[in-house]
Amino acid sequence: MTKSRTEWPLWEIFIRGQHGMSHRHVGSLHAQDADAAVRNARDVYTRRNEGVSIWVVPSASITASDPDAKGALYEPSHSKVYRHPTFFDIPDDVGHM
Amino acid sequence: MYAQMIKSEATQDDPEKLAAFQARIDAGDTIEPKDWMPEGYRKTLIRQIGQHAHSEIVGQLPEGNWITRAPTLERKTILLAKVQDEAGHGLYLYCAAETLGVSRDELTEMLLDGRMKYSSIFNYPTLTWADMGAVGWLVDGAAIMNQVPLQRTSYGPYARAMVRICKEESFHQRQGFDIMMKMANGTAAQRRMAQDALNRFWYPSLMMFGPSDQDSVHSAQSMKWRIKMNSNDELRQKFVDQTAPQAAFLGLTVPDPDLCWNEEKGGYDFSQPDWDEFFDVLRGNGPCNTERLAEQNRAWDEGKWVREGLMAHAAKKNAQPIAAE
């Protein structure tokens, strides 16, 4: 069998649901261009009212962080516990804050 | 199952990296596409997810067979929706496999020239409308047994595809059982069709789980990697325990004279399917192997000009603005 030279590019699909949340990555699919990717995404990822808005992005355009750099990237925030509101003890008498 | 007899690949990686990888799995970590993974893990998963995807795609054929002949418009629209879901499931899974470094076209070509398999169950014909009931009830029911635990598998994209699939699969099984209820409570002729469908699909459904794997080295490796969650026998037992009472509810007889409740083990005793038949079907000698593969090849070949034409059009459109500048 001859290998096809015309494989459709891969697109990453993001869907925004009905409840005001951000677009969320749901998966990927192949399509010849962006318009077709939106149409295919509608068929593949919104068959049960999963969304009201679709974004498609060429997979090749995504730059991802290096999984081996997890330490360097996320370690610094581990020690900064004061960034969370629960770090501060507020007396009960103060009421809701 | 939809992926049967998956051989795990030997791994020749740095023992230190292997140990760290296994520790991540044991700790319940999810492995993501860009993470380091043993070659064996990658190859076994490509084979397993690929075979699962192919099964969803080929699985459209036995049901597609009845879309034009569904008894009512409602049944027809439901069956259309179900077959469309199967296509969707295939696509979710292909995308998961592609994150492991294999292309969609490569996977398709391996299916078409027989290098990759699909589930043995889809090599059986669907002869009457009652078969649509039996397929949904038994075949999708058996698939769910395996897919629910796979939502916790170690490979992230595979687990996420399974979550989507499981949500939709429950509709499939219920629509099948709904058809069976209608037929089993219908005329004498309809009851005969329902019983006949159960007779023909019972043992092929038991075969879906694959032969007993208690002695299999491959299963042990896959379980260690958390890409196989339960033994074949365990899932088959669970399936029989769930399905036998449902058959009784329908007033149908499971075609196994030795099927009986075993109080001691808290499950049914049942007869094994004919494993020679199973291996023969895997070798390509089932009732529909030739037809199914020929149909997939025809669709691929006849769609070639469309795939290429759309791609050429997209390339032309992309080139235009640059030419105009």
Q: How far apart, in whole angstroms, are the C-alpha atoms of residue B168 and residue B146?
A: 14
- pLDDT for position B51: 96
* Average pLDDT of the segment spanning B298-302: 97
Residue at B14: amino acid letter:
D
For the record, the structure tokens of B317 come out as 């459109």
> In CATH, what class is A10-90?
alpha beta
Question: What is the value of pTM for the model shown?
Answer: 0.91
Mutate to test the interface with B, among A33, A43, A46 (most CBs of B within 10 A): A33
Q: What are phi and psi of B257, to 5 degrees?
A: -65, -20
Among A10, A42, A44, A59, the strongest candidate for a mutation testing the B interface, having the largest count of B CBs within 10 A, is A44
Helix (H, G, I), strand (E, B) or coil at B287: coil
- Which residue(s) pair with B261 in the sheet? B268
Band (pLDDT 50/70/90 cuts) for residue B2 is confident
Residue B323 φ then ψ, to 5°: -65, -30
- Backbone phi and psi for residue B86, each to the nearest 5 degrees, phi listed first: -60, -40
Question: What is the per-residue pLDDT across B188-245, written as a single tens digit (0 to 9) for each?
Answer: 999 999 999 999 999 999 999 999 877 676 788 999 999 999 999 999 999 999 999 9
Q: Check CB contact of B283 with chain A, cutoff 8 Å.
A: no
A76-86 per-position pLDDT tens digit: 888 899 999 99
Of B88, B103, B313, which is closest to A7 when you measure between CB atoms? B103
> How many Å apart are CA B166 and CA B162, to the nearest integer?
6
CB-based contact, A35 to chain B, within 8 Å: no
Cross-chain residue pair A6–B92, CB shorter than 8 Å? no
| Average pLDDT value for residue range A19-41 | 94
Q: How many inter-chain contacts (A to B, CB under 8 Å) are there?
A: 61
Nearest CA in chain B to A37: B314
- Tracing tokens 């219920």 back to the chain, one arrives at B174
Put simply, the answer to whether B85 touches A68 (Cβ < 8 Å) is no
**Nearest CB partner across the interface for A32, out of B81, B92, B314:** B314
Asked whether the predicted pLDDT for residue B319 surpasses 60, the reply is yes
Partnered with residue A24 across adjacent β-strands are: A15
Task: Please tell me the predicted confidence (pLDDT) of residue A20.
Answer: 82
Cβ neighbours of A32 in B, within 8 Å: 307, 310-311, 313-314
The pairing of strands B260-262 and A53-58 is unpaired
A96 vs chain B: nearest CA distance in angstroms? 38
Looking at the DSSP bridge assignments, the partners of residue A53 are A16
Long-range contacts of B315-320 (CB under 8 A, 24+ apart): B317/A33, B318/A33
ipTM: 0.87
Which residues on chain B are in Cβ contact (under 8 Å) with A68? 36
Percentage, residues of chain B above pLDDT 90: 89
The domain segmentation of chain A, as residue ranges, is: 10-90
**The two structure tokens encoding residue B147:** 């897919």
Q: What is the pLDDT of residues B47-92, one digit of tens each?
A: 999 999 999 999 999 999 999 999 999 999 999 999 999 999 999 9
What is the edge-to-edge ordering of all strands in the sheet holding A10-16? Answer: A24-30, A10-16, A53-58
| Of the partner residues A27, A48, A67, the one whose CB lies closest to the CB of residue B95 | A27
